[in-house]
Structure 1
């Protein structure tokens, strides 16, 4: 039996019911140890190449990242900007980093531009949503749901309608049709009255009608109390001083009333709110923490749909100012009702106008009261709070005590005792733990003594730790918060992970993978591996240096210029496809072409040797049969098509392998 829909017929012209308003050490100097060994600082090499005018996505990404992680936002913005100028398809994360770098140098207008692009490419990312202050109404409700909570049907519920809870003193006040007497003809239940009940160690005590002159022979519901305890606002049919009034259609509307607490503890001196009307309904009051603003539901002129949420200032004497509609981001063409304002200024209310699980669902608009106080525009983001509060039935009358973590709500879902029941649950402590390790990106080796820093979503440092020999870290976090974790170590380029914690308990496992920035170089080392140089590509059947290969060779050139005693052996390899003689000749030509490029750029002949090895030094089992066919994939063949730049000597030391 759906009591709410029965009330709707009389209250709001067949559509709006009483209950249907219902987030150490320094790097060792190269010069200090020049005689013994040498280092390559990748970021310096990249900068040298970029300053010569060479351009590539990979070059600018790595260079900009090196400054970004050093918090050098001026240089980060410069090189991210160069990256964007290439107009290539890149990871949207670079738009986000560019926007932060621009914000770091106070270029806010340009930062906003790139944040919008980031949001367009990653519309589900919370960072973009927060920036645009928009709500994705199609967001996954299950993300907000708490499957680990089982609401309890209150022991005080009856076979009749019980709903609309608010805490008062050591108990709760709610509306109920349990009182007997004359019946409301639309649902054959008694009219609603307001009741109170005290909490006990084992639950609740005896349910009693609220004291005073509040209850009448018609409906009363939805009480809320001023912070000083002096006033109570509540909903009643248009019945005042024994006069029952209807509009021109014969409908008796809902109205707001204010009662005053008398010295004997009863609620008397009933006053009508000045904007009540016989032509529309005003109902379901909710006060903010200080009692300075009252929120309510109404279908008064200016309403977007069947009923909307409004706000009005409360004067010191308990009188009210002029109401304002909260606007289209809160209200829809459907029903919005049963507002509740928690002590943090978050608005909860029920609506049929936004996607939900069925019937009335409870929605939340975080920080709405503060925004109203600041006079901000009426674009208030909302979210469906999900299960267990929301269901396929009507869910409304949400109330939460943020101190005790006790929640009450009302619903006509299946399994209840009556047509509408009050449910409750204790919000469990939300335990969030993030654990992980700091490792080398290329070798997966653990990196002891690395620093791991925890930031909030806005980049404020919260905590930092130095990992031990196991390179492990652990942080305890809060629920529904955005965090960033960054790993740092001298001689490495930092790595970071950004994430948002859910509502429910979890242990998140992360790997922070740091790339070498300063690397020791020795004879026999391959500069191609140290500098992350892929194969030096040539066009098919050719051996002239292409532009993309020139960028990579500029890295080698920078190192050779930095270390004038260094000699290298250039080695070019092919896969097995093609004849052995052809591959040998092709690789030889390419090796000599690479050597000639370095000679043309000022490197002396006695520092360079070059040789092509064709398919004679495969790094895997991808050899070809006489028919030139192979079962290997293209990726496996690619491993054999490689260029090597072997250091044959440096600083007086030679490589034993001079093949």
Structure 2
């Protein structure tokens, strides 16, 4: 009995000790995970899992560690266990990532089923909206495929090479290749060496053509993803957040990324400065320049981001300062990852994303951003550029139709490899043209709120429509590859339209001045209402024309000048305050004052009449003895313009 008791106590102690050990092990793994040190976190989580200790949290973090290291096969196995055993604790993002891993393995039907589940769990998520079973996105990708011939890049190694950038006659790129140093710094995200920047002349056949940039720019930590100005004198690049030569972590233990700018003088990098919108609390990375080099594009998870990382732009001022970063919007950005932008000379934006429908992992997409528009169709560039794994850092010379990109596909020499390509057939993108304008009454110049603007193609098919805002303004995007009609219409007016032929897409302003449909204006109608005039008001006990009323009466005069046969009767009214007889006299004076003003402005007196009605035609409850506000009484002190035969 005593032996059994001792044995039981020993088992309890052993179990307790084991549990404490596993908790400490998990704590170490979680700390590594929070630091984005995924490689050691994976080892620790696997060790705990192999010992039979499992939880939804452990599977989530292990799956994510594989996922963010692009080990999609292992990630899919972990997510599979998570969904099978802890469905109640699985949030929508895990269904999305699980689907992504299955796409990378070619299991598209199962991935689609998971995306249906994802769509059911989310409301308004861009990734769910992009995924639509009525839209065969794989067919669309197939239609865009086969346009490129992919070739080798002579300078790949068994390490990682990616992020090529055009620089003078050659390229800059990032690599964690062995530099021969005895002291090797390892990045614990994926247990690889820290990245440095290299340059090469791509026409050379010698490995000696690959040169590591000097210590004026390369540090013992990460330098990556660059873009250089056309003159080769300025470079923007990504680097770890460093303070006094040491990495600086945020409050949750993450070393963020920042973009720096440097000047290049005789091959030496000088005046290295970090950009003012960097932060210690979020990452800013992967710079790209517009063709005129006045706009910098980049990826970030800064406040205002829609997803894990978004694409932004910021103006580069002539004095070298910067404007305020702007998110490129929800057509381009999703709740997932958008990163590694590149803009061609023809203003086509290429970028990598795992939020838009793709083949698996990060795919490369393209959209037309000409004329500063970011709402065009986003297209997957297809195979063979894209694959089932991560494809990224795409650059393209539209003049000679050649370019480079990086991928971690299995056929590569290292973990990530750079590939060259030739474009044999261009990707057809929409030509986006911005049309803006205002819709007004042709006579009164009054803005018309709620007017409909329709875009109609040359086959008379309606493409889109919008409404004018509270200022009578509208904004539409048309396809400038072909002709379109822009039509404005509103009840009571004759529609008008302008034809826009195929063009280079420069923004255009089209203002519409609509004429009244005279059929709708009959005898006895109030012209003030037809012209949408503000009410003609008078001050208490006054009959002179107020300045604000003068503006409105000028609109009536313009209508009478436009239509010489138009005759009007001016009906004037008072509020209920004062004696009835006085009010009748006062309203008559107001009618005569209005008529006199219009005659003085050139309207023939035989086209006008005036009559005062005193307080006999109040438009609200403010009769004699009723307690009303001054504003309510003012509504009754008015003039009307009634069309006569």
TM class by smaller structure: 0.3 to 0.5
TM-score by length of 2: 0.45
TM-score (structure 1 length as normaliser): 0.44
Whose relative contact order is higher, 1 or 2, with alpha carbons under 8 Å and at least 6 apart?
Answer: 1
